[in-house]
A = this chain, B = another copy of it.
């Protein structure tokens, strides 16, 4: 399931915004308090409603965070990539994780016991500030998404979702930008509040316009600019 690593190399994280404006000594101290682990594709970091015991930093890989309703519908809240913290329940005084976090590819993360949050608050306030900055960005993004859901129709929302994926998790290829992990039509539907059928139809239309190239769980954006126009409503 998951393997403990003996040691974390600080050079992996020096460019990460989470450690901005911090000296090497402080970074090393924080990393020493954490534990690095491998998670395989499909593994869960935590489940919705689990008691929150740790917070995490992604060193390598991608994950998705999703919520499931009582009726069983799944909504994908967000994706996280390298250098991002997640599962920060202690930061916002939540006793349980509000969602499920799942590895989309094989991952390496650092995880800390919750108690270190308060510890770092005193010892390394800059770290906490950096972490809250990213919490703030997520709050802002959530609210953007509410506006989107309230005012835009499906085509624009799907265009936005694909753009977000390319920005957060895209890798350049000869032809365009490829999403770096498997994404199904169903996944896109769960990110935008629509159905896989509608997503499939949109992708077919966009592909035939040369805007993107799609395959089974594969999305490659060829003309990002045109996609951006669609996201803005022409």
A interface, CB within 8 angstroms of B:
67, 69-71, 73, 75, 77, 91-94, 98-99, 121, 125, 129, 132-133, 135-140, 142-143, 145-147, 149-151, 190, 192-193, 232-233
Contacts and interface: CB of A to CB of B under 8 A. Distances in A.
A121 B125 contact: yes
Contacts of A125: 121
A24 to B, nearest CB: 23
A145 B69 CA distance: 12
A147 B71 contact: no
B233 A71 contact: yes
Copies in the complex: 2
A12 to B, nearest CB: 24
Interface of A is mostly: helix
B146 A92 contact: no
Given A138-B139, A139-B138, A143-B77, A93 B132 contact: yes
A140 B93 contact: no
Contacts of A150: 73, 75, 149, 190, 192-193
A74 B103 CA distance: 37
Nearest to A194: B150
Contacts of A232: 70
A146 B77 contact: yes
A132 to B, nearest CB: 6
B140 A139 contact: no
A6 to B, nearest CB: 34
B92 A139 contact: yes
21 contacts: A67-B147, A69-B151, A70-B232, A71-B151, A73-B150, A75-B147, A77-B143, A77-B146, A91-B132, A92-B133, A92-B136, A92-B139, A93-B132, A98-B140, A98-B143, A99-B143, A132-B132, A139-B142, A146-B149, A150-B190, A150-B192
